[in-house]
A and B are shown apart, each in its own frame.
Chain A
Amino acid sequence: DQQVKQNSPSLSVQEGRISILNCDYTNSMFDYFLWYKKYPAEGPTFLISISSIKDKNEDGRFTVFLNKSAKHLSLHIVPSQPGDSAVYFCAAERDAGGTSYGKLTFGQGTILTVHP
């Protein structure tokens, strides 16, 4: 049962344009969401997170939007740069009062390619 889904295996974008990566989840107990970027032969690098009490969080070129009613989050990168080319994972964490304390559930990842 895939509780966190990234339905687009890949995305190709021109440099300078906006990249929008999407993620859907099914477990309504998730209350904290994160995006990670991963280059080959490296571990995932934390990008940005959002708590379920917010619907938007910004950090420089990265903005994460959360739509709780739709159980959907998205990562916007603007402007996109060739160095952003990587695999992007969304991850979700359950309410801290549950037994899954600290456990992250990951999506399968989306390969972003930014063309010069």
Chain B
Amino acid sequence: DSGVTQTPKHLITATGQRVTLRCSPRSGDLSVYWYQQSLDQGLQFLIQYYNGEERAKGNILERFSAQQFPDLHSELNLSSLELGDSALYFCASSVGSGGNQPQHFGDGTRLSIL
């Protein structure tokens, strides 16, 4: 158990809809990272938050947004969903703002778009 909690584990929805994925980091960790794992792309970095502020951004679509709240949990919002958004979405956390420290991953949310 990594200590990172992601909910829900599975999500099934339709094209055009909006969903919210939730992540609670390990106790004491201030950074939260979001990754997308699709069959053809592998694990891709989306975005990082540190202590409530956006820290780094990857190839995150404009339809996707995230935030980190004062209690340090984070939410990833996906809107105007398309079939290609079907993937596993992982959250990870680390103690500091990044750099030379391991990230610890949750078990992911599997998103299926019908």
Contact = CB atoms under 8 A, between A and B. Distances in A.
A28 to B, nearest CB: 17
Give chain A's interface residue range (CB within 8 Å of chain B). Answer: 20 to 34
A88 to B, nearest CB: 13
Give chain B's interface residue range (CB within 8 Å of chain A). Answer: 20 to 34
Contacts of B58: 103
Interface string B99-114: 1101111111000000
A34 B90 CA distance: 17
A51 B45 contact: no
A46 B102 contact: yes
B4 interface: yes
Contacts of A45: 2, 105
Interface in B1-30: 2, 4, 6
A43 B56 contact: no
Nearest to A48: B102
B108 A43 contact: yes
A103 B49 CA distance: 11
B105 A43 contact: yes
B99 A96 contact: yes
